[in-house]
Amino acid sequence: MKIVVGLGNPGKEYENTRHNTGRILVGLIEKKLQDKKISAKGGPASGWKFLTPDTFMNNSGKAVVALVKNKKDLKDLIVIYDDIDLPLGKIKISFNRSDGGHNGLGSIIKSLKSEGFLRIRIGISPSTPKGIVKKPSGEKAVLNFLLGEFKKPELEIIKKLSKKVAEIIEMIFKEGREKAMSIYN
């Protein structure tokens, strides 16, 4: 089974926050791929599981470990999440790396006892016209930024990314992560 996880926090109060970028995208992507499945019987989304954990971000690993039964399953796991170090709308695919300070990802790595899975990082920070990230500094400012709601134009950028992220996921599962990373990174 192919597993696509969108990180975020459950609950209405977190629905459109920057930290819920993974949840937002997985909701949109699942719909796109399920629509394809309906239009092409047994299409791209057959055998896929889309997960938006009902746990809070820092406990995401509990939900993921229930689906990943052994180390072989790691090759079929993709985790989508927000990345404060990337400019808004930038996508970066990575594999077998540390959590980079992201607590949700850290929880998954700890629960799986492995970093050996694919991640699709989605930039959420404002940037200068030259693409230099302008992220907040200080723990409290970062937390307020992450838990702050997207402005309407920012949310539209994230929603528009869903088509591209769906294409990336399909390519990863059909043609391999190396090809997807060479095209989309």
Q: Any idea which residues carry the catalytic annotation?
A: 19
Largest interatomic CA distance in the chain: 50
The gap from C-alpha 76 to its chain's centroid, in whole angstroms, comes to 14
With H, G, I as helix, E, B as strand and everything else as coil, classify residue 81.
strand
φ and ψ of 70, to 5 deg = -155, 175
Determine the Cα–Cα distance for residues 156 and 53; give it in Å rounded to an integer: 23
Q: Please, is 172 exposed, middle or buried when counting C-beta atoms within 10 Å of its C-beta (0-12, 13-18, 19+)?
A: buried
